[in-house]
DNA sequence: TTTTTACTTTAGAATTATTATAAACTAGAA
DNA sequence: TTCTAGTTTATAATAATTCTAAAGTAAAAA
């Protein structure tokens, strides 16, 4: 992924390319495998890997703008912190309780043979499979 | 379910049968269908349906004791509040985004034909299917 | 029964994750 | 360069949850 794509992510999220935002966008999107993170873990990575200072509010604001623009998704994980995901396609997860890590599962890797019909007047929006791991 | 069962729930959770705890236990376990709730919704129901006063801390403490004893389970739902479940068997859920309500799905109603194997050195602990509903 | 003890309830303080605020700063237009 | 709207930041506010310690109560001991 080139720098022009980073700028595109920012522009399409309605964000000016400031120093902090470019660093965040590069960190999130300039990689070839999915990245799952919390705001806290992202902050740690950013302060470790860049020479830039980040107010927590800037990280929250930028991540929310990316999410709103569809560049990030959110994953439900037990616990108090919100998990975000750079994989915005429909997919499933392994969750390692020991390490608190998420691992992507492509939809093609899970086949559901039988599923109940939605309650009266409702439709199925999407199906999420969450596989808890143990040692 | 008889009162003796309520007392058994309390005893097996290491809790003395006080007025508040008996009311909470009756409200949660003296019913024949699953009850999904947040601490806030439970507090509302309790103050509405009983003549007893409940400190929030008492509700939190009691629910956590029940959960620790295995009488309640927790469900991951998007949002900030923790959801609890009186159904402690392995099962799945519909989630209605409009009403924020959970509906149980028995494991027999979902058949998974193909599932990826767990990552190296890990085992599958359980599989949770979460079906989001829309109108 | 009364007394004693350990456990419980409670109001309010503390903590944690998140969101809001408003003053100082800056990218990009004019 | 100057101007303006948007941005960063420290800090305050909020929401869910947990902690605390004083006052109350269940159940054991006497
Ligand atoms: Mn969560
Ligand atoms: Mn949750
Ligand atoms: Zn993912
Ligand atoms: Zn359930």
Which helix (H) or strand (E) is A96 found in, with range?
A: strand A91-96
Using a CB–CB cut-off of 8 Å, the residues of A that contact B are 74, 76-78, 94, 96-97, 103, 105, 109-116, 118-119, 121-135
Report pTM: 0.92
Label residues A61-75 b or e (16+ Cβ within 10 Å = b).
Answer: ebbebbbeeebbbeb
pLDDT in tens, A53-94: 999 999 999 999 999 999 999 999 998 999 999 999 999 999
3-class DSSP state for residue A17? coil
* Residue range B108-121: mean pLDDT, rounded: 96
Give the residue among B25, B135, B43 at the shortest CA–CA distance from B86: B25
A75 and A129 Cβ atoms separated by less than 8 Å: no
pLDDT in tens, A24-46: 999 999 999 999 999 999 999 99
Label residues B62-96 b or e (16+ Cβ within 10 Å = b).
Answer: bbebbbeeebbbebbbeeeebbbbbbeeebbbbbb
- Directed axis angle between helix B39-49 and helix B56-68, to 10°? 120
* pLDDT reading at A20 higher than 80: yes
Q: How far is the CA of A75 from the centre of ligand 1 (A)?
A: 7
> Could you tell me the sign of the dihedral formed by the alpha carbons of B32, A113, A77, B67, in that order?
positive
Given this model, what pLDDT does residue B4 score? 53
Distance from A18 to chain B by nearest Cα, in Å?
A: 30
The span from the CA of B124 to the CA of B71, in Å, is: 23
A13 and A68 Cβ atoms separated by less than 8 Å: yes
* pLDDT reading at B132 higher than 90: yes
Q: What would the two tokens of residue A103 be?
A: 């691992």
Domains of chain B: 3-83 (1.10.10.10), 89-133 (no CATH)
Which chain A residues in 69-108 sit with Cβ < 7 A of strand C?
80-82
Nearest CA in chain B to A127: B131
């Amino acid at each position: 992924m080139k720098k022009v794509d980073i700028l595109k992510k920012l522009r399409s999220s309605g964000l000016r390319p400031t120093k902090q935002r470019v660093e965040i966008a590069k960190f999130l999107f300039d990689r070839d495998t999915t990245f799952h993170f919390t705001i806290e873990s992202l902050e740690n990575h950013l302060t470790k890997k860049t020479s830039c200072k980040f107010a927590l509010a800037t990280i929250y604001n930028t991540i929310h703008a990316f999410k709103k623009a569809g560049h990030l998704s959110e994953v439900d994980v037990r616990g108090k912190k919100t998990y975000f995901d750079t994989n915005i396609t429909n997919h499933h997860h392994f969750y390692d309780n020991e390490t608190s890590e998420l691992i992507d599962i492509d939809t093609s890797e899970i086949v559901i043979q039988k599923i109940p019909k939605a309650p009266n007047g409702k439709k199925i929006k999407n199906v999420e499979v969450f596989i808890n791991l143990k040692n």
